[in-house]
């Protein structure tokens, strides 16, 4: 009787907390726990939120969508991590909890240098969606201790939704006022505000443009001046995550290049109107955002390294999800004269490159030099015969990654996949960087023309590297 009562209590507790899995080991002991990618200490994580850089303290702040009760999506909170180098992260706990206005969905944060909102000079103001059963509205909260704790504004919500999907505000300073990009079903709306509290509708973007296979989420308008590869006339890029409808199934981040006149975003070229452009050509880089106030006018981005198709089924135990390495975004012209958004590993990420080694470490960096006149085949494998096969196809001008035999793919029929990136620029020699961690491979054209992020779950680390059609140098990670 007593035993069954305890069993009942345990079951009730599990049901109440929504827990579907019990951690069976210390969270840091898990074989798939990333060594140099940000992961939650325990339980569920999705989108990076509210990222900003505190220049005076030299600290990068990262908040994220978090369910503290289970390793699957559930009641969303904002949890907080900080880093001095974008490699080592300190967990700072939860800063925003669900309240009577709803759970805490994705959003952004700004440093209010001029005290426009009246919370104090240099207050950190978070702008986020509150989701409740009947709709989604935008709220704000402020921090006067540099982003370590937040107080929700008593006048919330500051922007009421008028349709079902009305979320993910990313706020930037646009000359003399605040500008918000907001995902509204399959369009992006722009709103302006003098004080972060009162918002005026400006315009909508996206009808009949780009990919529309799913709902649009997590938008951001990027001003592409004063960054790597300066291009003389100022352009803007609008990042829009989409789920489903990505090029390899499930979620992915598309982008549009155009002009911003203070009120409307207008796509620049005929090609941009018909073609969907993708930030990343793998399956696992979603809801990518840049850090507000990144140093030197850089656009430093992090994405959620997962895909809604299988994010809740990934074979980790005490935690779920990780973020990509930090990348700098910039514009370049491809061989056909079309502007493209490039991404290179940020200099903070490149600082990971440790000593050259002969042996493939379980977390390392590989630098490939591939001859542009012939195809190349790159195979990462382990003693169990699990492998990831990459191919540079110089005739089709593509780089591909096949993870169909990479290890555990059994948890979802959507996981086994081969992803393909266009090379965009013809080169005599292709330099490719591979960032390998315990459950991920991020491949980059070393000059940033394309990036490809894919998760992998080998039953033991890959310890062989075979390169046909080029050479490889292997580096330890320096942490
Ligand atoms: C994107 C997203 C957002 C939403 C959040 C909820 O991954 O669906 O649109 O705000 O996740 O957790």
Of the residues 29, 47, 145, 334, which is catalytic?
47
Question: Looking at residue 48, what is its pLDDT?
Answer: 98
Residues 286/253, Cβ–Cβ less than 8 Å: yes
Distance in Å, CA 131 to ligand 1 centroid? 10
Question: Looking at residue 271, what is its pLDDT?
Answer: 74
Helices (H), 234-319: 270-274
What average pLDDT does range 434-441 have in this prediction? 98
pLDDT band, very low/low/confident/very high, at 5 (cuts 50, 70, 90): very low
Distance in Å, CA 252 to ligand 1 centroid? 13
Nearest CA to ligand 1 atom 6: 105
Distance in Å, CA 229 to ligand 1 centroid? 32
Rounded Cα distance, 106 and 124, in Å: 16
What average pLDDT does range 428-447 have in this prediction? 98
Q: What tokens appear for 64 in the block?
A: 């994220």
Q: Which atom of ligand 1 is nearest to the CA of 215?
A: 9
pLDDT band, very low/low/confident/very high, at 273 (cuts 50, 70, 90): confident
Judge: domain 39-333, CATH 2.115.10.20.
yes
On the question of pLDDT at 21 being above 50, the answer is: no
Ligand 1 neighbours by CB, cut-off 6 Å: 46-47, 65, 76, 105-106, 129, 167-168, 217-218, 287
Q: Which atom of ligand 1 is nearest to the CA of 304?
A: 7
On the question of pLDDT at 7 being above 80, the answer is: no
Nearest CA to ligand 1 atom 8: 217
For the domain made up of 353-477, the CATH class stated in words is mainly beta
What average pLDDT does range 58-73 have in this prediction? 98
Distance in Å, CA 346 to ligand 1 centroid? 25
CA-CA-CA-CA torsion sign (89, 93, 96, 97):
positive
Question: Looking at residue 134, what is its pLDDT?
Answer: 83
Q: What tokens appear for 264 in the block?
A: 């409307």
Question: Looking at residue 29, what is its pLDDT?
Answer: 73
Distance of CA 41 to the CA centre of its chain: 18
State what percent of residues in the chain have pLDDT above 70.
92
pLDDT in tens, 349-396: 999 999 999 999 999 999 999 999 999 999 999 999 999 999 999 999
Q: Which atom of ligand 1 is nearest to the CA of 129?
A: 10
Question: Looking at residue 232, what is its pLDDT?
Answer: 56
Rounded Cα distance, 173 and 163, in Å: 26
Question: Looking at residue 19, what is its pLDDT?
Answer: 33
Cis bond upstream, residue 61 (ω within 30)? no
Average pLDDT, the chain: 92
Q: Which residue has the higher pLDDT, 88 or 18?
A: 88
Helix and strand numbers, DSSP H then E, in the chain: 3, 33
What average pLDDT does range 314-337 have in this prediction? 95
Q: Which atom of ligand 1 is nearest to the CA of 73?
A: 12
Question: Looking at residue 90, what is its pLDDT?
Answer: 98
Distances (CA, A) of 400 to 25, 403, 424, 450, 465: 36, 10, 14, 11, 16
Burial class (CB in 10 A: 0-12, 13-18, 19+), 426: exposed
pLDDT in tens, 200-255: 999 999 999 999 999 999 999 999 874 455 555 689 999 999 999 999 999 999 99
Domain borders along the chain are: 39-333, 353-477
On the question of pLDDT at 146 being above 80, the answer is: yes
Question: Looking at residue 28, what is its pLDDT?
Answer: 59
Residues 343/58, Cβ–Cβ less than 8 Å: no
Nearest CA to ligand 1 atom 12: 105
Distance in Å, CA 396 to ligand 1 centroid? 36
pLDDT band, very low/low/confident/very high, at 27 (cuts 50, 70, 90): low
Q: 44-53, 114-123, 260-269, 306-315 — which is least confidently predicted?
A: 260-269
pTM for this predicted structure: 0.93
Between vectors from CA 182 to CA 177 and to CA 186, what angle results, nearest 5°? 145
Rounded Cα distance, 51 and 81, in Å: 10
On the question of pLDDT at 302 being above 60, the answer is: yes
Distance in Å, CA 168 to ligand 1 centroid? 7
Residue 218: phi and psi, rounded to 5, are: 45, 60
Q: Which atom of ligand 1 is nearest to the CA of 218?
A: 9
On the question of pLDDT at 10 being above 50, the answer is: no
Question: Looking at residue 4, what is its pLDDT?
Answer: 33
Query: Is 47 one of the catalytic residues?
Result: yes
């Amino acid at each position: 009787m007593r035993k069954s009562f305890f069993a009942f209590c345990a079951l009730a507790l599990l049901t109440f907390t929504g827990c579907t899995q019990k951690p069976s080991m210390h969270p840091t002991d898990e074989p798939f726990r990333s060594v140099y990618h940000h992961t939650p200490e325990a339980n569920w994580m999705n989108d990076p939120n509210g990222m900003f850089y505190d220049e005076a303290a030299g600290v990068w702040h990262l908040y994220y969508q978090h369910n503290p009760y289970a390793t699957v999506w559930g009641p969303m909170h904002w949890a907080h991590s900080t880093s001095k180098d974008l490699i080592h992260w300190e967990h700072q706990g939860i800063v925003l909890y669900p309240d009577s206005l709803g759970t805490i969905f994705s959003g952004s944060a700004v440093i209010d240098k001029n005290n426009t909102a009246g919370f104090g000079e240099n207050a950190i103001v978070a702008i986020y969606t509150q989701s409740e059963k009947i709709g989604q509205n935008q709220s704000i909260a402020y921090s006067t201790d540099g982003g370590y704790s937040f107080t929700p504004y008593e006048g919330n919500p500051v922007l009421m939704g008028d349709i079902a999907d009305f979320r993910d505000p990313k706020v930037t300073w646009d000359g003399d006022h605040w500008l918000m990009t907001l995902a509204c079903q399959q369009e992006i709306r722009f709103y302006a505000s003098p004080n972060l509290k009162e918002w005026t509708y400006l315009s909508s973007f996206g009808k009949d443009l780009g990919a529309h296979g799913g709902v649009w989420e997590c938008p951001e308008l990027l001003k592409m001046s004063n960054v790597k590869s300066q291009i003389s006339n100022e352009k803007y890029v609008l990042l829009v995550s989409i789920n489903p409808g990505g090029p390899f199934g499930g979620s992915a981040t598309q982008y549009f290049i155009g002009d911003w006149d203070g009120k409307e975003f207008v796509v620049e070229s005929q090609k941009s109107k018909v073609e969907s452009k993708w930030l990343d050509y793998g399956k696992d880089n979603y809801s990518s955002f840049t850090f507000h106030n990144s140093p030197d006018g850089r656009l430093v981005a992090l994405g959620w390294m997962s895909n809604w198709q299988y994010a809740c089924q990934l074979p980790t135990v005490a935690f779920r999800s990780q973020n990509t390495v930090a990348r700098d975004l910039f514009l370049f012209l491809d061989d056909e004269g079309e502007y493209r958004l490039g991404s290179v590993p940020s200099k903070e990420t490149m600082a990971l490159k440790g000593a050259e080694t002969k042996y493939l470490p379980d977390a390392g960096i590989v630098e490939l030099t591939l001859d542009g006149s012939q195809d190349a085949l790159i195979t990462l494998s382990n003693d169990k015969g699990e492998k990831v096969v990459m191919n540079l196809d110089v005739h089709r001008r593509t780089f591909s990654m096949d993870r169909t035999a990479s290890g555990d793919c059994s948890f979802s029929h959507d996981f086994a996949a081969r992803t393909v990136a266009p090379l965009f620029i013809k080169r005599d020699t292709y330099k490719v960087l591979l960032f390998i961690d315990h459950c991920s491979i991020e491949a980059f054209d070393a000059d940033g023309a394309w990036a490809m992020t894919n998760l992998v779950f080998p039953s033991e680390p890959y310890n062989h590297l075979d390169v046909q059609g080029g050479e490889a140098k292997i580096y330890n990670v320096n942490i």
